[in-house]
Structure 1
Amino acid sequence: LASGPNGDLTPVEAFKTVGDSIFNGFGTILLILLLAGLLIVMSVNAYGGSLTLISMLDSFKSVKPTKKLRIAALLVMGISVWGIAQFVGEARFNTFYGNALVFLAYLFTPWTAVNLVDYFFVRKGVYVIGEIFKKDGIYGRWGWRGNTAYLIGFATMIPFFVTTPYVGPIAKSLGSVDYSLFVGLPVSAIAYLILARGLDLKKEAAMAAAEGNLTKH
């Protein structure tokens, strides 16, 4: 409604119109408050994103999160976002953003299944905390069981994808309804349960007890 009868107002103009409809001048106050909130959220997102990039780098090569590295990560993020924005353009942004959120959901679906199954059904909250930070520890740098279950679950989701650039063949036959979530979650979970049978959980429990982090259920 605030965008006008013809939808001809920009978001900023729309917010100002709504504010001024409450009392004259409140629109400006509202915009200032929104700007302050936006800057805070953007700062937190940028900081969190830079730490994520550093963590990803650390998975391949051990690094220290120095001030220079954090600044470099922020610059990489800024340049990447600017480049994507220039490529996508304002007219296609909503479609691009919607697809980006959908793809993130696709990526996180099998990841969520593996983590939940591992915590609640496989290891049941018993972890050797010190070993998590050792690249040559019992967990290793990469867990092949979890990664394999992830890839299996993600692969089974692809035929059910429904996005602007791609609609899976099974999704098309089902009226372009996205059921990938309901496929990826159970498939990844079951795959990980099967693969996790080879884990030496008694050894891990003994190490966790020695470390003092054994949780009884």
Structure 2
Amino acid sequence: MTFDLFEHLEPPEVVREELAPGAVVLRHFVLQHTKAILAQVASVVEYSPFRHMTTPGGYDMSVAMTNCGDYGWVTDRQGYRYSRKDPLTGKPWPPIAPLLSQLAIEAAEQGGFSNFQPNVCLINRHAIGAKMSLHQDKDEKNVNYPIVSMSFGLPAVFQFGGLFRSDSVQKCVLTQGDVVVWGGVSRLAYHGILPVKAGYHSDTQDCRINLTFRQVD
């Protein structure tokens, strides 16, 4: 199946969907900026390539990752953490492009969170079959700031649960240009991505690209 981005003469209507208190899906929020955003992703990848990181338990992640910003999220046998330098290149991570930062700030505001100043952007590449198991984003020093997540390319089923792994989860399909924002009482909610199904998208070929913005300091 092929998923194509149609040209819009006007910006697409943003549809707001409540997931939970403090958690929303903003449908089509960055759709009109897709080309520019993916171009920025390509620039980051040229400097700090995608790689499959290893978990503390010794497993290679199915999702390929890189970062941009003041810090980058990394994982290896030593644990999960943020690092100012890319361990693959030994150099600082490339900066977050102004467009990406501004869109993340605007999305956070739409989600009800002001004063968000993202200084980390995780970039994930989900090939067909790649997944992200249920987890909490809790490696940040301050969890008062929200998470902003943008989706591009192949659709994926996003799982959003509660504060305990055993809590029931909601499932929603995320497509190109959709943004999820969660914070407040939902900031430490368990969430994940089911295995990406086979398909083709004209902008990303056979994968899904996800950008996740965080404020670490």
- Same fold by TM-score greater than 0.5: no
Determine which structure has greater relative contact order: mean sequence separation of CA pairs < 8 Å that are 6+ residues apart, divided by chain length: 2
Per the normalisation by structure 2, the TM-score is: 0.20
The answer to which structure has the higher helix fraction is 1
Q: TM-score, normalised by structure 1?
A: 0.20
